Structure 1
Amino acid sequence: MVKVTVWNENRHEQKNPVVKSIYPNGIHTTIASFLEEAGYDTLTATLEQPEHGLTYEVLENTDVLIWWGHLAHNEVEDEIVQKVYEKVLQGMGLIVLHSGHFSKIFKKLMGTSCDLKWREAAETERLWVLDPTHPIVEGIGEYIEIDQEEMYGEHFDIPTPDELVLVSWFKGGEVFRSGCTFKRGNGKIFYFRPGHETYPTYHQKEVQKIITNAVSWANRSKRNYPSYGHHEPIESLKD
């Protein structure tokens, strides 16, 4: 069974009654619940826990890590970021949601600012499927529509994605690369844009389906991690 850890800084839920009313037990619990219903073995972790809940034991037993953060990116300890980074290179999958684009771990893996335009105006978002053959959008039609979301707009300062699966259009006119895949080392990464905390985005079935599919796609690589450094010759170097 695929083991998923859902990480959330869990700050908005404590500070904002609107967020608390939408996600009474936290965004992480909502995501973990629908993944569990889909048959995944789920665990949650939050910022305030020791080692942010991402201990050696947790990461060793995580096939796919889901990351949601916003207010407290700078409070995530660099030592923990480095541990997650190494696990991704070794094959752990990573799904970065919404404002996690500015997280330390995503910026470290991308090597760019990961900056963008934004506007919070409760506008309609239409996410168009660009690759209907991709497993992340299996069971999704030509597009999905979210009634109210925060706008993210181009230019999104990321490396060119390995695959561009979804692109968003917003009522205000902007577009955005909202479903992007990357490979780093043995690990697969999926960035998925929707999920502003004051809107019930993670209760929408199509959004849940994409995240559920992404977990299956990003599942830990079974390939052995390559060896690096000094290497003995395979063939004899003697004449």
Structure 2
Amino acid sequence: MSGLRITVWNEGVHEAEQDPPVMAEIYPDGIHGALAEGIRHGLPEASVRTALLADPEHGLPEEVLADTDVLLWWGHRAHGQVDEAVVDRVQRHVLGGMGLLVLHSGHFSKIFQRLLGTTCSLGWRDAAEQELVWTVAPHHPITEGVPNPLVIPEQETYSEFFDIPAPDELIFISSFDGGEVFRSGVTFFRGHGRIFYFSPGDQRYPVYHQPEIRRVLANGIRWAAQPDRPRTAPDVAKLDRHWR
């Protein structure tokens, strides 16, 4: 899939507030910058743009979404500041076939909660512990070339219960030093759209610089992208005959 059109969305609040201070060293171009760099490396033929909460229409006007095959969403502190009109717009495009990758604390985003219909709450603590990301769907294209386990030296701990519907596909399960486990990589199909949630990637740790993580995201983009599908959501159709 060459020539994919990718949009990376980041609320940009941690960057604007320089919180935590170490983030400026880990992600000098912001989380969105690191994600975009990784995508350009893994998918060199793709065109990549970034968008922020502070941009007009949060950087996601109709013309941007119409020109996006896959949208990546990273949020943490400002979920409530996302305008409902933008959520409506993103939802419409996902149902029509745009891919959506929801990352880390994006599980609490309005768009993820709306598409899944649950609170998407989970257990968490932050102790800079090692995370092991275990592949449980070895033949799925998202796992191609990904080591099993994928080792993240330091990461925020997420744990069950994760209040999501039963995933359409369970791709990764993570374990942590404290004994917690978490469904860290799951997919959903909504309308014509494909959704991949992947939890590793906190603002305190350089996770998005890891080649293995970048490989997962590139694989996820390829899987979610449907560039040749007309962007039309499923609708009621009148049958032209009676079936018995």
- Contact 1:110 1:158 (C-alpha < 8 Å) held by counterparts: yes
Q: Which residue of 2 aligns with 1:36?
A: 40
Q: Using the TM superposition, give the Cα deviation of residue 223 of structure 1 relative to its aligned residue in structure 2, in angstroms.
A: 4.1
Q: Which residue of 2 aligns with 1:13?
A: 15
Secondary structure at the counterpart of residue 150 of structure 1? strand
Q: Using the TM superposition, give the Cα deviation of residue 33 of structure 1 relative to its aligned residue in structure 2, in angstroms.
A: 1.1
Runs (4+) of structure 1 exceeding 4 A deviation are none
Alignment of 1:1-239 (within 5 A): 1-15=3-17, 16=19, 17-37=21-41, 38-39=43-44, 40-220=46-226, 222-224=228-230, 225=232, 228-229=235-236, 231=238, 233-235=239-241
Letter in structure 1 aligned against 2:148: E
Q: Using the TM superposition, give the Cα deviation of residue 230 of structure 1 relative to its aligned residue in structure 2, in angstroms.
A: 6.5
Letter in structure 1 aligned against 2:202: H
Q: Using the TM superposition, give the Cα deviation of residue 222 of structure 1 relative to its aligned residue in structure 2, in angstroms.
A: 3.5
Distance 1:219 1:124 in 2: 31
Q: Using the TM superposition, give the Cα deviation of residue 226 of structure 1 relative to its aligned residue in structure 2, in angstroms.
A: 5.9
- Unaligned segments of structure 2, at least 5 residues: none
Distance 2:185 2:144 in 1: 13
- Contact 1:91 1:222 (C-alpha < 8 Å) held by counterparts: no
Q: Percentage identity across aligned positions?
A: 50
Q: Deviations over 1:56-79 (max 9, x none)?
A: 110000000000000100000000
- Contact 1:9 1:70 (C-alpha < 8 Å) held by counterparts: yes
TM-score scaled by length of structure 2:
0.93
Secondary structure at the counterpart of residue 123 of structure 1? strand
**Greater CA drift, 215-224 or 133-142:** 215-224
Q: Using the TM superposition, give the Cα deviation of residue 34 of structure 1 relative to its aligned residue in structure 2, in angstroms.
A: 1.6
- Unaligned segments of structure 1, at least 5 residues: none
Distance 1:221 1:147 in 2: 36
Distance 1:56 1:227 in 2: 19
Distance 1:194 1:228 in 2: 35
Letter in structure 1 aligned against 2:142: I
1:226–1:98 distance in 2 versus 1, CA, 3 Å: closer
- Contact 1:186 1:221 (C-alpha < 8 Å) held by counterparts: no
Q: Using the TM superposition, give the Cα deviation of residue 14 of structure 1 relative to its aligned residue in structure 2, in angstroms.
A: 1.9
Q: Using the TM superposition, give the Cα deviation of residue 20 of structure 1 relative to its aligned residue in structure 2, in angstroms.
A: 1.4
* Bigger-Rg structure (1/2): 1
Q: Using the TM superposition, give the Cα deviation of residue 36 of structure 1 relative to its aligned residue in structure 2, in angstroms.
A: 1.3
- Paired residues, number: 236
